[in-house]
Chains A and B, each alone.
Chain A
Amino acid sequence: MRWDVVWNNFDYLLWGAFPDGPLGGLALSIVLAVAGIFGAFWLGLAVGLLRIAHSRLMRWPAMVYIEVVRGVPLLMLIFWFYFLAPIALGHTLPETWSALIAFIIFTSAYIAEIVRAGVMALPRGQMEAARGTGLTHIQAMRYIILPQALRNMIPSFVNQFVSLTKDTSLAYIIGVLELTRAATQINNRTLVAPTEIFATIAVMYFVICYALTSASRRLEKQLARYQARGR
């Protein structure tokens, strides 16, 4: 076993060439995951609310968006934004941005479904009572339904965050220097310790994702006490 290879390159795995060069490695993976989930939350919330709107004109495009995005491998989406941005925009997009946009689009479709399920899970009476007190539909959504629904959705959001953290590894394919790419570079340079290198980064991903998964499980239990559930 050649753990010294891993040890000597450990800082490269953690933050790439950071102070002297661009941010990379695990740090970039985390930045991508956090920025991705932030963007996907707002886009997903919008799509999810459209998905449950009364008007078909709003509902159908949202449904098509969700079905299409969920039916395609993330890798394919990344290729779309990487190879086709030049065609659509006339200039190339930095790889990191292509990857980030693909992550946001991909995750937002799943978040939209979570939002829909969360709102549908509330008792109908909540909306009726809110409307009965004189709130408009939008006000009722904003002050009564969404605060309750979003709180119940937190565990699902955390799970989606875990998925995204794992999925950031796919940015490897277009040359973003995140953790998986950094590991492959070290592997190509040293050639003696593939098992050790890939086991190490697997453990790095695991530590983050497992911590989040356990947190979401604990949250789920705590929230279960306050949940208003319908049907």
Chain B
Amino acid sequence: MNYEFNWGLVLSGEYAEWIVQGVLVTLKISAISIVFSMLLGTIIAVFRLSQIKPLEWFSIAFTEFFRNTPLLVQIFFWYFGSDAVLPKAVNQWLYQQDFEFAAGVIALTVYTSAFIAEEIRSGIFSIPKTQLESSRATGLSFIQAMRYVILPQAFRIIIPPLISQFLNLIKNSSLCMTIGVMELTYMARQIESYTFHGFEAFTVSTLIYLCISLIVSFAVTQYNKYFLRQITW
């Protein structure tokens, strides 16, 4: 093993700046995709629970399809093939933006929303039916019962799995490097090809990912400890 370690290379100077920029892009693309996938996921979950059959079928098809195909393929699909599936005006607008970034956001959003929709649905289902029945019996309307009794409990249960979906999204955002989004993994790879000091670059970026995920999972554990106990059935 004749490999000279050079930690200064990635811990200071230009390459350290690359890493910082990469982290910022990772956080930015993740944050934007999290917001959009929560919105889309909620809509899909509501479709699934609605009484209108076509909406329910659409929701089932959506979740099954996007959950059972690789994210990388979806990224390529949106990046190379969005011309054929998105309206022309939308595409033209996207091309004026940072198109790589936008394609990454679309792919991450659609992929993650399929998982989020399932979490939300199972959260609502996990509340016993009697909760709804007894709150209706006390005189609440359906919407009131949902709002004050069912949803507060459901959301308390699904926050931990939702957050682990967000964490998955942050890790999955590394795949956006394949279409040229300059996030953390892209930068690490870039440093590797400029300096041949991949070991240091990968170590630093691995540690950054690890820190993010340990912080998030610690928070989830604490949440579970203090809040999840309060739910009773």
Partner of B213, one of A1, A70, A80, A162: A70
Partner of B81, one of A72, A76, A184, A195: A195
Name the residue on B nearest A211 (C-beta).
B68
A161-181, CB under 8 A of B: which get 1 and which 0? 010001111101100000010
Q: In the bound complex, what is the Cα–Cα distance between A88 and B204 (angstroms)?
A: 18
Per the 8 Å Cβ criterion, residues 178-201 of B in contact with A are 178, 185, 188-189, 192, 198-199
Q: A76-B206, A87-B199, A194-B80 are in contact. Are A67 and B174 (CB under 8 A)?
A: no
Per the 8 Å Cβ criterion, residues 64-94 of B in contact with A are 64-65, 67-74, 76-77, 80-81, 83-85
User: Judging by beta carbons under 8 Å apart, are A79 and B68 in contact?
Assistant: no
Partner of A79, one of B64, B76, B202, B217: B202
Q: A76-B209, A198-B76 are in contact. Are A213 and B70 (CB under 8 A)?
A: no
Interface residues in B, total, Cβ within 8 A = 40
User: Judging by beta carbons under 8 Å apart, are A195 and B185 in contact?
Assistant: no
User: Judging by beta carbons under 8 Å apart, are A194 and B73 in contact?
Assistant: no
- Tell me which of A11-19, A142-150, A199-207 binds B: A199-207
Residues of B within 8 A of A210 (CB): 64, 68
Q: In the bound complex, what is the Cα–Cα distance between A101 and B212 (angstroms)?
A: 25
Question: With an 8 A cutoff between CB atoms, is A134 at the interface?
Answer: no
Question: With an 8 A cutoff between CB atoms, is A209 at the interface?
Answer: yes
Q: In the bound complex, what is the Cα–Cα distance between A165 and B68 (angstroms)?
A: 9
Q: A195-B83, A198-B73 are in contact. Are A76 and B202 (CB under 8 A)?
A: yes
Q: A71-B210, A71-B213, A73-B174 are in contact. Are A180 and B72 (CB under 8 A)?
A: yes
Question: With an 8 A cutoff between CB atoms, is B175 at the interface?
Answer: yes
Question: With an 8 A cutoff between CB atoms, is A93 at the interface?
Answer: no
Per the 8 Å Cβ criterion, residues 32-61 of B in contact with A are none
Q: A75-B174, A76-B202, A76-B205 are in contact. Are A205 and B210 (CB under 8 A)?
A: no
User: Judging by beta carbons under 8 Å apart, are A71 and B209 in contact?
Assistant: yes
Give the dominant DSSP class at B's interface: helix
What is the minimal beta-carbon distance from A228 to any residue of chain B, in angstroms?
A: 23
Per the 8 Å Cβ criterion, residues 176-195 of A in contact with B are 180, 183-184, 187, 194-195
User: Judging by beta carbons under 8 Å apart, are A72 and B210 in contact?
Assistant: yes
Name the residue on B nearest A194 (C-beta).
B80
User: Judging by beta carbons under 8 Å apart, are A72 and B209 in contact?
Assistant: yes
User: Judging by beta carbons under 8 Å apart, are A205 and B185 in contact?
Assistant: no
Partner of B174, one of A76, A206, A209: A76
Per the 8 Å Cβ criterion, residues 122-141 of A in contact with B are none
Give the dominant DSSP class at A's interface: helix
Residues of A within 8 A of B1 (CB): 87-88, 90
Per the 8 Å Cβ criterion, residues 118-157 of B in contact with A are none
Q: In the bound complex, what is the Cα–Cα distance between A219 and B113 (angstroms)?
A: 26
Q: A72-B171, A198-B81 are in contact. Are A180 and B70 (CB under 8 A)?
A: yes
Partner of B80, one of A73, A74, A198: A198
Per the 8 Å Cβ criterion, residues 62-99 of A in contact with B are 67-68, 70-76, 79-80, 83-84, 87-88, 90
Question: With an 8 A cutoff between CB atoms, is B106 at the interface?
Answer: no
A-B contacts besides A71-B212, A84-B202, A194-B80, 10 pairs, CB < 8 Å:
A70-B213, A72-B209, A73-B209, A79-B185, A170-B175, A180-B70, A195-B81, A196-B81, A202-B69, A205-B69
Between A and B, 25 residue pairs with Cβ closer than 8 Å are: A67-B217, A68-B210, A70-B213, A71-B209, A72-B206, A72-B213, A73-B172, A74-B171, A75-B175, A75-B177, A76-B185, A76-B188, A79-B192, A83-B202, A90-B1, A166-B70, A172-B72, A172-B178, A180-B76, A183-B76, A184-B76, A195-B83, A202-B70, A205-B70, A210-B64
